[in-house]
Amino acid sequence: MKVEAKLLIYLGVFFGAMGIVYWLWSGENAGGMMLVASALLGFLPGGYYLWWSNRMVQRPSDREDATIADGAGVIETFPGSSIWPFTLGCGAFFVGLSLVFGVWFAVPAFALIVWAMLGAVTESRRGGGHTHNANG
Partner 1 sequence: MTEIIERPASAGGDVLVDDHAQLDHGAHDHHGPTGILKWLTSTDHKVIGLSYTVTSVIMLVIGGLLAELIRIQLAVPNSSFVSLAEYNQLFTMHGSLMIYLFAGPFAFGGLANIIVPLQIGAPDMAFPRLNALSYWLYLSGSLLMLLGFVTAGGAADFGWVGYAPLSNAIYSPGAGADLWIAALMLTGFSAIFTGVNLCATVFYLRAPGMTMFRMPIFTWNLLVVGILILLAFPVLTAGLVMLYCDRHFGTHIYTVPGGGVPVLWQHIFWFWGHPEVYILALPFFGMVTEVIAAMSKKPVFGYKGMVFATITIAALSLGVWAHHMFTTGVVLLPFFSIMSLLIAVPTGIKIFNWIGTMWGGKVRLNTAMLFAIGFVITFLIGGLTGIYLASPPLDFFTHDTYFVVAHFHSVVLALVMGGMAGLYYWGPKVTGYMLNEPLGKIQFWLWFIGAQMMVVPQYILGLNGMPRRVATYVHDPQWAALNQWATAGAILMGVSTLVFVVNFVYSWKRVPAGDNPWDAQTLEWFTTSPPPHHNYYSLPPIRSERPTWDYNHPNAKTLAHGHHEAPDPAPAGATP
Q: Which residues bind partner 1 (CB under 8 A)?
A: 1, 3-4, 7-8, 11, 14-15, 18, 21-22, 25-26, 28, 30-31, 34-35, 38, 41, 49, 60-86, 88-90, 92-93, 95-97, 99-101, 120, 123-124, 127-128, 130-134
CB atoms near residue 1 (< 10 Å): 17
* 25-48 per-residue burial string, b: 16 or more CB within 10 A, e: under 16: eeeeeeebeebbebbeebbeebee
Shortest gap between Cβ of 4 and partner 1 (angstroms)?
A: 5
Shortest gap between Cβ of 52 and partner 1 (angstroms)?
A: 11
Residue whose C-alpha is closest to residue 73's, from 60, 62, 63:
60
Shortest gap between Cβ of 6 and partner 1 (angstroms)?
A: 10
